[in-house]
Structure 1
Amino acid sequence: MNDNPFAPPRDHSGSDTESTATSETATVRVHDEAPATNDTVELPPAISPQRPAAEPAAAETTAVLPTQSFAQPEDPATQAYLPPVEPPAETPSTAAAPQPGRLRRSTVAAVAAGALVLGLGGGLAGAWAYDSLAGDSSSTASSSTAGGTSTLPTSSSSTIARTDENTVAAIASAVMPSVVSIQNIQGGQEAAEGSGFIIREDGYILTNNHVVEGSDNDTVTVVMSDGSEHEGEVVGATADYDLAVVKIDEEGLTPLVLGDSDELVVGDDVIAVGSPLGLESTVTTGIVSALHRPVTAGDTSSTAFIDAIQTDAAINPGNSGGPLINSEGEVIGINSAIASLGSSSETAGSVGLGFAITSNQARRTAEEIIATGEATYPVVGVMLDSSYTGEGVKVAETDGAVAEGGPAALAGVQPGDIITAIDGRPITRSEELIVAIRAKASDDTVVLTVDRGGSTQDISVTLVPNTDVSYGDSGEEDQGGLGGDGGQLFPDPSE
């Protein structure tokens, strides 16, 4: 019986060959400022400390059958009824006739042997069919990358083999060498420490924006799992998604695979790897507690809107930027924030409510940063009324609230419209609409369910990058979630 919760069905084909898992490690870090708008906080920075007898088998018993005695009795009167002392040589010995209703022993043996042959054949055929189906499924999954032109590793290059080695211990051992610690240097001193992980063999590392934010000359110190240190250059970062890419001058590294976070379901097993509170190579486990949690993190000047994965795997300050791993050894989230019972992020710790950026979002953003050094986010081109308290969210009834020539305007959205759902998902708060849109890619089409004067209609809107939208005569680009006015996310109509 396989007691491993992460292992797939065993292959009973008799193969002795198994892939050997390789290792990796992760670390995480967070902002030191508490979010102003909700009870989730970015993990505060982790201040780096000074480096200082089987039972014996039952004995086999042999039954000794009594032998027939040919001794002659002393009474001669009975002698005529006894067999001869020795049977005649010409008389063949015959086996006892089988009793009615019972099988011969030879028949039972033949039946048992036949059953074993059939069972073995069935097992081999079943194993072959499972391997064929699993191989087809793996091939299909590995071919469905974002945009079809990803430069990051796909699931076909996972460092974990789909075997009975998919245990927590095997997965942790395999991912640890690809997880790094990132030290944010400010004023020549280490200000804080977070985590990251290798995403390309030529030295690209993914982490959180707040892990590298404010570093001197956009450089950080990257500490590998073997203790070696490298200078890392911040290639680009975005506070809107709380993601950043760092590059070190190394080749031939082992990258972690960004899996398909759209395939997650609540209850899936996950593993978090990182350096909470400076404790390198820490592994915690849990499950996916919820999906599509609208999480805002950061301060008012750099607020990240995250369509987050919620997990009960322990995540603490120092875990930020580290990977959240699924049972196949693939990254399905980037640990970024936690819910806190306290009012200060400095005293925040795990209460079983951690949040991670989805791997699909991270892949799109990382690809864009590597290619251009910057990252955009998709918008529909409207501003929302923060004073509205009814059902859904309301498009502000102010001049320029619907950007002229923007996606919403072209689709027919009007000031005062109330948006009650996106792609069939009900909307009750502004943050829910913002993170749902930011989880998409530019050129994606979403369906907004709109209530206008008591009449409901669905409006299809094709998203565009925030750099393509401006409001009124200000000429400013979109700076908010659906639209912006130079930084105020949800302006009141009077503003």
Structure 2
Amino acid sequence: MTDETRPDEGRTPSDLPEPQRPDFLPADEQRTTGDPQDRAQTEQLVWSSAAEPQPGSRPTFESPSGWGDPSGRSGDTAIFSSPDGGPRGGYGSGAPSPGGYGSGAPGSGGYSSGAPGSGGSGQVYGDASFGDSGFFSGPGNGSGHGGSGAGFGGPPPPPPGQALGLGAGWAPPPPPSGGGGAGGARRTPGTGVLVVLAIVIALVASTLGSVGTYLLTGSRSGTDPSFSLGPAPAGNTVRAPDSVAGVASRVLPSVVSLEVESGADGGTGSGFLIKGGYVVTNNHVVAMAAQGGEIQIVFNNRKSTTGRIVGTDPGSDLAVVKPEETFGTPEITLGNSDEVVVGDPVIAIGSPLGLSGTVTTGIVSSLNRPVRAGEANDPDPAFISAIQTDAAINPGNSGGPLVNARGEVVGVNSAIATLSRAVNGQSGSIGLGFAIPVNQARRVAEEIVTTGKARRSRIGVVLDQSFRGEGIRIASQPSEGRQPVEPNGPAGKAGLKAGDVIVEMDGLKLQDGDELIALIRSKAPGSKINLTYKRGSQEKTVTVTVEAETEPTPTPTRS
């Protein structure tokens, strides 16, 4: 520490003015600023603490490169002046000078460089006892810093780890302008800078907190408060007339739902409105109402009314119902089932499971598929030469229309094939639906509306149900009072006999008796068909005119 920063205890204040800081100028060089670190190094004085001072010896005061002056030079020294301007002694003067530096004689109060006045290294600080040193004497004893005042006496204090200057003149030089030395004063930031720094820290902390909250909560829960899919694109509901939507929009208003109740039993089905305000449906949909039940007809506009049965045909599974009111419902357009080919697109419309207005699509999978509709123990099942489709048909679709791409009815949905049948349960669609050809439905509906009943087509033969060979064999023996071939029936008139095997009808190979019956019933009475049969080794083809089945005439009982 410098003299002015030393504690007051143990020393006397000086009345002399503060000495000026000496300039250490080499005699043979110009003064340069240099690096502050180098300058500090050249001015640094260190105490040698290699060993403790021995009694009788003088403590040594060394610089890294010898004594001389603080710049490190040996021999060439600067002169310190006394406060009053006179010389106070110097470094390396051989003559003792009271109060000066460089007195080599013991007790002279000066620093000696080697021998007195030699200016060499190994400076001596008074004598070992400090008894005759005037360096620390008061201002009245001697002149300058020397004098002959009494010393402190006793052993000297342990040397410090690093020598310090001897007053204000020995203080470290100020740092260079613009530099930031270790001893330079630190500049304290202003209030405005601190406020801006606080705002920046707050903004960064807020941003990091928001990001952290999103990463910890938003990403885990999958929610994002700012998420938006944007508005729905603009569009319209207009569709091409030949599209499924266009066809459905034209056909749906003519399709109805039927709710049938008879006592505790009930069921639902579908139908479509034809000319005259009549509704065509399946016989099995309204069968329970024939015994005194009630039929409720619900239109596509959700208006409803009651209906009554006009007539039924169990053999073709068709029926006609007359609603009390139609509410302006348009009639549907009937097509031609003879023009349907496999692969044509079709649309099934109805009320599966009571879901009115259901539309499904598919294609025609097959034609002339023989289907026996009804229960297994039904004494008078329906035989249908059906149109097969993969359009979904489920319970409740029965009686609804199967339409083509022009919206024309080509069939009446009637049956589905299932993998199994549960007791008192129904199975859904597996892509095997069957519809009655519309040409057959047209004829049956006309007959029911005009006469109240439909004629059933026949050729007058009894088939052998036990035959398992190719084709269908005519029975050889009478069955239930009927001859295998009626003598005056259509087949008998064409020359067929008992035991003949019918193998084709209109060029179509026959697989079983159900197929032959279904094909014949699909024909109108009076239609002509070509049958190919085998008798022994001969094969012949004959033309048969289909006729209507006659109802038995009631015979009065005898009393």
TM-score, with length taken from structure 1: 0.60
Residues 450-472 of structure 1: CA distance to partner in whole angstroms, max 9, x if unpaired? 1011100011111100117x8xx
Give the aligned residue type for 2:434: F
Give the aligned residue type for 2:280: L
Describe the SS at the equivalent of 1:302. Answer: coil
Contact 2:262 2:293 in 1 (8 A): no
Residues 370-419 of structure 1: CA distance to partner in whole angstroms, max 9, x if unpaired? 00010112110000001111111100011311113111111111001110
Describe the SS at the equivalent of 1:346. Answer: coil
Contact 1:275 1:318 in 2 (8 A): yes
Matched, 1:267 2:343: yes
Residue equivalent to 1:384: 463
Matched, 1:170 2:246: yes
CA distance in 1, matches of 2:243, 2:510: 39
Contact 1:319 1:335 in 2 (8 A): yes
Residue equivalent to 1:245: 320
Contact 1:218 1:233 in 2 (8 A): no
Contact 2:270 2:396 in 1 (8 A): yes
Residues 87-134 of structure 1: CA distance to partner in whole angstroms, max 9, x if unpaired? xxxxxxxxxxxxxxxxxxxxxxxxxxxxxxxxxxxxxxxxxxxxxxxx
Distance 1:270 1:343, change over 3 A: same
Residue equivalent to 1:342: 420
CA distance in 1, matches of 2:354, 2:408: 24
Matched, 1:184 2:260: yes
Give the aligned residue type for 1:267: G
Q: 2:477 aligns with which of 383, 398, 410?
A: 398
Describe the SS at the equivalent of 1:176. Answer: helix
- What is the Cα deviation at residue 218 of structure 1? 6.0
Describe the SS at the equivalent of 1:266. Answer: coil
Give the aligned residue type for 2:490: P
Instruction: Specify every segment of 5 or more residues in structure 1 that has no aligned partner in the other structure, as ranges.
Output: 1-52, 54-162, 478-495
Q: How many residues align?
A: 309
Residue equivalent to 1:146: none
Q: 1:313 aligns with which of 383, 387, 391?
A: 391
Residue equivalent to 2:446: 367
Describe the SS at the equivalent of 2:346. Answer: strand
CA distance in 1, matches of 2:492, 2:255: 45
Q: 1:434 aligns with which of 512, 517, 541?
A: 517
CA distance in 2, matches of 1:270, 1:476: 45
TM-score, with length taken from structure 2: 0.53
Q: 1:424 aligns with which of 491, 503, 507?
A: 507
- What is the Cα deviation at residue 164 of structure 1? 4.0
1:49-448 equivalent positions in 2, closer than 5 A: 164-187=240-263, 191-200=266-275, 202-215=276-289, 216-217=291-292, 219-250=294-325, 252-299=328-375, 300-344=378-422, 346-399=425-478, 400-448=483-531
- What is the Cα deviation at residue 314 of structure 1? 0.6
Which has the bigger relative contact order, CA under 8 A and spacing at least 6?
1
1:462-473 equivalent positions in 2, closer than 5 A: 462-467=545-550
Contact 1:218 1:234 in 2 (8 A): no
Describe the SS at the equivalent of 1:334. Answer: strand
Matched, 1:452 2:527: no
Contact 1:183 1:190 in 2 (8 A): no
- What is the Cα deviation at residue 476 of structure 1? 9.5
Give the aligned residue type for 1:241: S
CA distance in 1, matches of 2:256, 2:473: 44
Residue equivalent to 1:56: none
The structure whose residues are more often helix, as a share, is: 1
CA distance in 2, matches of 1:460, 1:476: 33
Contact 2:261 2:293 in 1 (8 A): no
Give the aligned residue type for 2:517: I
Contact 2:350 2:401 in 1 (8 A): yes
Contact 1:203 1:249 in 2 (8 A): no
Q: Rg: which structure is higher? A: 2
Contact 2:471 2:511 in 1 (8 A): yes
Distance 1:442 1:476, change over 3 A: farther
Residues 189-245 of structure 1: CA distance to partner in whole angstroms, max 9, x if unpaired? 560110001012x32000000000021536411111112221111000011000000
User: Higher mean Cα deviation, 233-242 or 210-219?
Assistant: 210-219
Give the aligned residue type for 2:387: I
CA distance in 2, matches of 1:456, 1:395: 15
CA distance in 1, matches of 2:363, 2:511: 26
Instruction: Specify every segment of 5 or more residues in structure 2 that has no aligned partner in the other structure, as ranges.
Output: 1-229, 231-238
**Percent identity over paired residues:** 50
CA distance in 1, matches of 2:300, 2:410: 21
When the two chains are superposed, the root-mean-square deviation of aligned CA atoms in Å is 2.0
Contact 2:418 2:428 in 1 (8 A): yes
CA distance in 2, matches of 1:219, 1:347: 23
CA distance in 2, matches of 1:214, 1:404: 39
Residues 268-327 of structure 1: CA distance to partner in whole angstroms, max 9, x if unpaired? 111111111111111111111111101111022231111101111111111000011110
Distance 1:360 1:205, change over 3 A: same
